[in-house]
Amino acid sequence: MVSALLPDSPAARAGVVVGDVLTRINGEQPRDVIQYQLLVDEASVSLDIDRGGLDRSVDIEKGVGEPLGIEVQSSVFDQVRTCDNHCSFCFIYQLPEGMRKSLYLKDDDFRLSFLYGNFTTLTRFTEADLERVVSEGLSPLYVSIHATDPELRSSMLRNRRGGTSLRWLRALLDHGVEVHGQVVVCPGVNDGEALEATLVGVADEYPELHSLAVVPLGVSDHSNEEDMRPHTVEEARAVIDTVEAWQERFNRLLGHRLVFAADEYYLLADRPFPEPESYEGFPMHEDGIGMARTFELEFTGQAEAATGVQAGFFASVDGAPAEGYRAPRLDVAAQPDSGGGVAVALSPSRKAPIGIVTGEYGARILQPLIDTLQRDDVRLVVVDNQFFGGNIAVTGLMVGDDISRVLATEPEGHRYLVPDVCLSSGVFLDGTRVDDLPRSVEIVPTDGIALRALLAGSRS
């Protein structure tokens, strides 16, 4: 279904309207927005349309590669391939009840991996999928590995295909597909010697991997898995030691570090983050690898542009909807203020004291940077995550209810900055909207450049 039209676009000039259902394009019925894009890239595009039960055809002439000007309602037109694994560490199983229905959907669809950077286990991947990935150049893809030992991987995924499905990873690499891997480390399950064995397996079997992220298990208060627990400080340090030792080995073997530990590990271990150059271009920034260092570079003026959200092919597909995977973070009728934020209510004076709303991990990254400013009118407003509980402390999982609880105790008349990373189309994960908050806030892009500009503007 056509959900939006670009004014004066080829489709709009040809008479396409919002609400039209595209049944065929050039005689074909595309299964997803990837095929849709290939079809509408042509100079001559013929659309079969269902408009309120009436069929009609629209022929459009445009330049080759010129955007058609249509945004479609969904990125997958047939059906999202759901996940049939039952991983004990899956965060979807740890969500509280009563959230938006879409948040409980587990996908294991290689198309969403390509479009949005979602991770797939490949347990539902097929020969036909491989043929399509190769023939259409669907690269990069993101694969959840967790363990290279077949028995351990099957046990972790609770799926007997888990032990054999990594054959598809080998096939993808053989065909030159760029693949980024991930290992979610569960204490007592795939850490220690098991993590060492996984990295040995990567070196032996999958050395062509572009990068491998090692991230810690997140455990909310709503987990029913008794064996799943947060890392201890000693365990976090052991993971870092393992990863850094293997970075040296991979560097000698392959010429690059390949494997990276998530920022959370360095926070848990109370160790300094690696130097920026050790991240080799931050290929897994969106997976929490090097976010702290990139923010620091942006905030201190050492980065010319913000890293931003890595949105996969979605960023360049004309017509691909965000669908919550990479939805616009703000969706309110608001105007940017002169300091770089977006005001969503009647804002206090630009000269008012500033409170930067952040999670517990975010505070540990931000506080040293704020201290360098030597300003008594800027402070952090730290939100502890009671909604999820457990060891959930990242800023991106802050919800409106927790922010409201904290802001209700804060003075009126101050400027409160809320990072956009915890929003999707202006809505927090718990369904709270920005205008439900008890204080006027400004939504700020979650990068150091935007925050630096806003703070500088507050003094001018």
- How confident is the model at residue 316, as a pLDDT? 42
- How confident is the model at residue 329, as a pLDDT? 54
Is residue 15 situated within a structural domain? yes
Q: Which of 110-124, 197-211, 320-334 has the lowest mean pLDDT?
A: 320-334
Per-residue pLDDT band for 71 (boundaries 50, 70, 90) equals: confident
Let me know whether 135 and 278 are in one domain.
Answer: yes
- How confident is the model at residue 310, as a pLDDT? 52
Number of neighbouring beta carbons within 10 Å of residue 355: 23
| The pair of three-digit structure tokens given for residue 325, joined into one six-digit string | 């995977």
Q: Pick from 117, 123, 108: which is nearest to 138 by CA?
A: 117
Let me know whether 61 and 149 are in one domain.
Answer: no
Number of neighbouring beta carbons within 10 Å of residue 373: 14
Q: What is the mean pLDDT of residues 314-323?
A: 48
Is residue 324 situated within a structural domain? no
- How confident is the model at residue 80, as a pLDDT? 85
Q: What pLDDT, in 10s, does the model give residues 405-418?
A: 999 999 999 999 99
**How many Å separate Cα 262 from the centre of its chain?**
14
Per-residue pLDDT band for 322 (boundaries 50, 70, 90) equals: low
Are 394 and 264 in contact by the 8 Å Cβ rule? The answer is yes
Average pLDDT, the chain: 89
Let me know whether 283 and 364 are in one domain.
Answer: no
pLDDT at residue 239 greater than cutoff 80: yes
Is residue 352 situated within a structural domain? yes
Range of the domain at 257: 91-316
Let me know whether 14 and 158 are in one domain.
Answer: no
Number of domains in the chain: 3
Top pLDDT among 314 and 56 is at 56
Is residue 159 situated within a structural domain? yes
Let me know whether 67 and 95 are in one domain.
Answer: no
Query: Residue 329 is which amino acid?
Result: R
Let me know whether 278 and 366 are in one domain.
Answer: no
CATH code of residue 305: 3.20.20
Let me know whether 62 and 129 are in one domain.
Answer: no
Give the phi and the psi of residue 156 in degrees, each rounded to 5.
-70, -40
Query: Which residues on neighbouring strands pair with residue 142, listed in sequence order?
Result: 180
pTM, two decimal places: 0.88
| The pair of three-digit structure tokens given for residue 427, joined into one six-digit string | 């809505």
Let me know whether 212 and 139 are in one domain.
Answer: yes
- Measured in residues, the chain has a length of 460
Q: Kindly give, in sequence order, each residue whose CB lies less than 8 Å from that of residue 389, ignoring residues fewer than 6 positions away.
A: 220, 221, 222
Query: Which residues on neighbouring strands pair with residue 418, listed in sequence order?
Result: 443
Is residue 381 situated within a structural domain? yes
Is residue 86 situated within a structural domain? no
Continuous segment of H or E residues that includes residue 181: strand 179-185
**How many Å separate Cα 145 from the centre of its chain?**
18
For residue 168, CA distances in Å to 121, 141, 385 come to 10, 12, 38
Let me know whether 292 and 357 are in one domain.
Answer: no
As a whole number of angstroms, the distance between CA 310 and CA 360 comes to 24
As a whole number of angstroms, the distance between CA 278 and CA 298 comes to 17
CATH code of residue 30: 2.30.42.60
pLDDT at residue 344 greater than cutoff 60: no
Let me know whether 298 and 384 are in one domain.
Answer: no
- How confident is the model at residue 311, as a pLDDT? 46
Q: What is the mean pLDDT of residues 247-274?
A: 97
Is residue 183 situated within a structural domain? yes
Q: Exposure of 128 by Cβ count < 10 A (0-12 exposed, 13-18 middle, 19+ buried)?
A: exposed
Q: What pLDDT, in 10s, does the model give residues 204-236?
A: 999 999 999 999 999 999 999 988 999 999 999
Q: Pick from 378, 436, 359: which is nearest to 404 by CA?
A: 436
Is residue 85 situated within a structural domain? no
| The pair of three-digit structure tokens given for residue 431, joined into one six-digit string | 């369904």
Let me know whether 161 and 55 are in one domain.
Answer: no
Number of neighbouring beta carbons within 10 Å of residue 78: 11
pLDDT at residue 348 greater than cutoff 50: yes
Q: What is the mean pLDDT of residues 2-8?
A: 90
Let me know whether 173 and 273 are in one domain.
Answer: yes
Q: Alpha helices, DSSP H only, in 206-347?
A: 233-254, 263-269, 291-299
